[in-house]
Amino acid sequence: MHYAFTSILCETAVKHTIKEKPMLKEKMLKALNAQVNAEMYSSYLYLSMESYFQSVSLSGFSTWMRAQVQEELFHGMKIYDYICERGGRVALDAIKKPDSDWKSPLAAFKHILKHEQHVTELINDLMDLAIGEKDHATQNFLQWFVAEQVEEEASVGEIVDKLKLIKDDTSGLFMLDAELGRRIFTPPAKGE
Ligand SMILES: [Fe+2]
Ligand SMILES: [Fe+2]
């Protein structure tokens, strides 16, 4: 009897806590959950590319790709944490199977650029929704991703340009491999 009473008290407390959180609107919550999945897919796609670069003995490219995998996981978790912070429930979905083969490093990087341009569109759509819903907190949160996408497209675009210049020059490719191999992923500090 005493236990049952305590349990009711706890449930009331839990419900009360959730109610106190500034809840996300349903449409916004659904869209943010879809973005968690999109970021996880990005991570999965780049993991597949890392394996491709390993298979063609370009270890610098695969090191760069591993950092990219970690960065995309960080993006997914950043949205995951935000949903929780706003009192929402994260709903995980299946992750689409990524491609597994590319005919050249240039083909792989062109694929990344196209994919990042698509992600930029997704972030812009999320921002449009947050503006439409008058959700100022989510607009503020998404600003970080808007800036991040500018950086992503610029850095990947630069590598595409370099690979185009290199063409079939093996020594140029090895120099770029050495350069890309120096990349290390450091998660940004909270608030950055
Ligand atoms: Fe991302
Ligand atoms: Fe990205």
Per-residue pLDDT of the chain (192 residues; tens, 9 = 90+): 444 444 444 455 555 555 566 689 999 999 999 999 999 999 999 999 999 999 999 999 999 999 999 999 999 999 999 999 999 999 999 999 999 999 999 999 999 999 999 999 999 999 999 999 999 999 999 999 999 999 999 999 999 999 999 999 999 999 999 999 999 999 888 767
Pair of tokens at residue 85: 């912070």
Pair of tokens at residue 183: 């990349």
Structural domain boundaries of the chain? 24-180
Question: What spacing in Å lies between the alpha carbon of 119 and ligand 1's midpoint?
Answer: 7
* Amino acid 23: pLDDT: 87
Residue 115 CB neighbours (<10 A)? 18
Instruction: Give the C-alpha separation, 76 to 80, whole Å.
Output: 6
Question: What spacing in Å lies between the alpha carbon of 75 and ligand 1's midpoint?
Answer: 5
- What angle, 0 to 180 degrees and rounded to 10, lies between the N-to-C axes of helices 136-166 and 105-132? 160
What CATH number labels 24-180?
1.20.1260.10
Question: What spacing in Å lies between the alpha carbon of 70 and ligand 1's midpoint?
Answer: 10
Question: What spacing in Å lies between the alpha carbon of 5 and ligand 2's midpoint?
Answer: 50
Task: Check: pTM over 0.85? Answer yes or no.
Answer: yes
Question: What spacing in Å lies between the alpha carbon of 18 and ligand 2's midpoint?
Answer: 32
Dihedral through CA 104, CA 107, CA 109, CA 110, nearest 10? 170
Question: What spacing in Å lies between the alpha carbon of 149 and ligand 2's midpoint?
Answer: 7
* Amino acid 7: pLDDT: 46
Question: What spacing in Å lies between the alpha carbon of 14 and ligand 2's midpoint?
Answer: 36
